[in-house]
């Protein structure tokens, strides 16, 4: 897995006709108040984010399959959108992490909440056949922890 902590890299530039253009899903961006705190949370979920990323205003982490998870500080966002304001009234995005087993869901939920993060919904057996739990990241984004239930 690859990470970038200094600049946004959109890949090689190319000229494409609008008529032939196909958008490709590439990344999910999180806007965070405190970058080191947010990165520490996601490291607990198993992302191997380098320690030097804590000092950057923008961080990218490539997930398996090539989709990138991006973090920007509020200051970075306001540097090009000065009137940006934080959303209010609830989360606008939820990320989900497969924990492999039902026991894995329970263990990770206990580890995350034991470290002081908010447990939004304790582990439960969902009717769609998964062990499920939800925690909040440091900025209030929902993070679902799940695994298939075994018969």
Tokens matching residue 55: 């000092």
Task: Please check whether residues 123 and 71 belong to one and the same domain.
Answer: no
Domain boundary among 86, 115, 138: 86
Amino acid 144: pLDDT: 95
What domain range is 118 assigned to?
88-150
137 and 95 belong to one structural domain: yes
What confidence category does residue 10 fall into, taking pLDDT thresholds of 50, 70 and 90?
very low
Residues 108 and 146 in one domain: yes
Name the pTM for this structure. 0.78
4: in domain: no
| SS3 of the chain | CCEECCCCCCCCCCCCCHHHCCCCCCEEEEEECCHHHHHHHHHHCCCCCCHHHHHCCEEEEECCCCCEEEEEEHHHHHHHCCCCCCCCCCCCCEEEEECCCHHHHHHHHHHHHHCCCCEEEEEEEECCCEEEEEEECCCCCEEEEEEECCC
Beta bridge partners of 147: 131
Would 70 be classed as within a structural domain? yes
Tell whether 77 and 99 lie within a shared domain. no
Over the chain, what is the mean pLDDT? 87
User: Does 92 lie in the same domain as 78?
Assistant: no
CATH number at residue 72: 3.10.180.10
* Closest listed residue to residue 76, CA positions, set 60, 95, 89: 60
My answer on whether 51 and 100 are in the same domain is no
pLDDT digits (tens, 9 = 90+) for 22-62: 777 899 999 999 999 999 999 999 999 999 999 998 999 99
Q: Structural domain tally of the chain?
A: 2
Per-residue pLDDT tens over the stretch 56-93: 989 999 999 999 999 999 999 999 999 999 888 877 78
């Amino acid at each position: 897995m690859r990470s970038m902590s200094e600049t946004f890299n959109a890949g090689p530039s190319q000229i494409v006709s609008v008529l032939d253009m196909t958008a490709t899903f590439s990344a999910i961006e999180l806007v965070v108040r405190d970058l080191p705190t947010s990165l520490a949370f996601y490291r607990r979920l198993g992302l191997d984010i380098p320690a030097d990323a804590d000092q950057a205003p923008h961080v990218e982490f490539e997930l398996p399959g090539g989709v990138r998870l991006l973090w920007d500080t509020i200051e970075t966002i306001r540097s090009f959108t000065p009137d940006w304001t934080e959303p209010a009234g609830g989360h606008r995005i939820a990320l989900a992490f497969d924990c492999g087993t039902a026991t894995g869901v329970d263990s990770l939920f206990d580890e995350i909440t034991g470290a002081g993060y908010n447990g939004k919904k304790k582990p439960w057996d969902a009717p769609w056949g998964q062990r499920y739990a939800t925690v909040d990241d440091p900025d209030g984004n929902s993070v679902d922890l799940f695994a298939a239930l075994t018969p």
